[in-house]
Amino acid sequence: MADINAKTKLLCLLGNPVEHSLSPVIHESLSKIKERNFSYMAFRVEEEALGDAVKGLTALGAKGANVTVPHKRAVMEYLKEIDEKASLIGAVNTLVPVPGGLK
């Protein structure tokens, strides 16, 4: 894991369960190889806390997140914007910051 400091950018996975996910290992390895100062963490988020989690990512200035089961549909109600393709599909996989929230 890279040295985490005040300039470290946060990326994460939101889901339930997430303990089995290899995403943190893959993204942390890429961070080292590419010499980037980011940290990728998996957060187990209960359904009733999903809105708070999205608000928290925005408040913390997270640079992005992946969404996995069971939140791919439910997360849409907490987003500032929704991509046209995501609207058509009815599910979201990737969150990125936009002014005032995430899309």
Domain that holds residue 37: 9-98
Residue 4: inside a domain: no
Residue 67: strand, helix, or coil: strand
Peptide bond into 97 cis (omega under 30): no
Catalytic residue among 72, 80, 85, 103: 72
> pLDDT tens-digit profile of 2-58?
588 999 999 999 999 999 999 999 999 999 888 999 999 999 999 999 999 999 999
Q: Is residue 72 annotated as part of the catalytic site, yes or no?
A: yes
The whole-number pLDDT of residue 3 equals 82
> pLDDT tens-digit profile of 75-97?
999 999 999 999 999 999 999 99
The whole-number pLDDT of residue 33 equals 87
Peptide bond into 99 cis (omega under 30): no
CATH of the domain at 71: 3.40.50.10860
The whole-number pLDDT of residue 39 equals 95
> What are the DSSP calls for 9-53, one per residue?
EEEEEEESS-TT--HHHHHHHHHHHTT--EEEEEEE--GGGHHHH
Rounded to two decimals, the pTM is 0.91
Q: Which residues pair with 39 in a beta bridge?
A: 10
Number of domains in the chain: 1
